[in-house]
């Protein structure tokens, strides 16, 4: 079996496993027959592009993630970064604080702590 097909089967099994899905569950979620799912998972059948799109959509991932685990890992890290940044931004002080320096009257401990948290988050996700 070609490498991409091996990756597809491995990644599909892993994604199904994360969700506790059986072939029947994936079949229900996609409208693809259980026999077709089984043939894809055993490497007997190469899925059409439309089939891969249905599977990826049902799993909530990109088609590329089925073929390339590294891309999936990077996308996961990006989603985590975006989620954590959104939380930080929701706690943000008024925009004027973003331009405050330690000498400004707008600069408070809260602004300093928020800026430190943003810096730590950026450092955490720096590749």
In the chain, domain spans: 3-67, 70-125
Nearest CA-CA partner of 91 in 120, 111, 105, 121 = 111
| pLDDT at residue 68, rounded to an integer | 73
Calpha distance 6→85 (Å, rounded): 35
* pTM higher than the cut 0.85: no
Cβ–Cβ under 8 Å, residues 88 and 114: yes
Taking 50 as the threshold, does the pLDDT of residue 122 lie above it?
yes
What does the pLDDT look like over 74-83, one tens digit per residue?
667 777 888 8
Structure token digits, residue 112: 């300093």
Residue with tokens 């990644």: 11
pLDDT at 55: 93
The answer on pLDDT for 106 being more than 60 is no
CATH class of the domain defined by 3-67: mainly alpha
Mean predicted lDDT score pLDDT of the chain: 79
pLDDT at 32: 95
Q: What's the first-to-final CA gap in the chain, in angstroms?
A: 33
Between 102 and 74, the more confident residue is 74
Do residues 32 and 51 touch, judged by C-beta distance below 8 A? yes
What's the rounded Cα separation, in Å, for the pair 16 and 105? Answer: 54
């Amino acid at each position: 079996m070609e490498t991409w097909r091996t990756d597809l089967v491995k990644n599909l099994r892993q994604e199904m496993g994360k969700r506790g899905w059986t072939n029947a569950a994936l079949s229900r979620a996609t409208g693809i027959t259980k026999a077709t799912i089984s043939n894809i998972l055993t490497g007997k059948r190469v899925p059409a592009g439309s089939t891969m799109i249905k599977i990826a959509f049902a799993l909530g991932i990109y088609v590329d993630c089925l073929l390339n685990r590294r891309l999936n890992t990077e996308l996961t890290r990006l989603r985590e970064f975006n989620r954590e940044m959104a939380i930080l931004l929701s706690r943000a002080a008024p925009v004027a604080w973003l331009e405050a320096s330690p000498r400004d009257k707008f600069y408070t401990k809260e602004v300093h702590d928020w800026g430190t948290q943003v810096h730590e988050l950026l450092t955490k996700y720096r590749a």
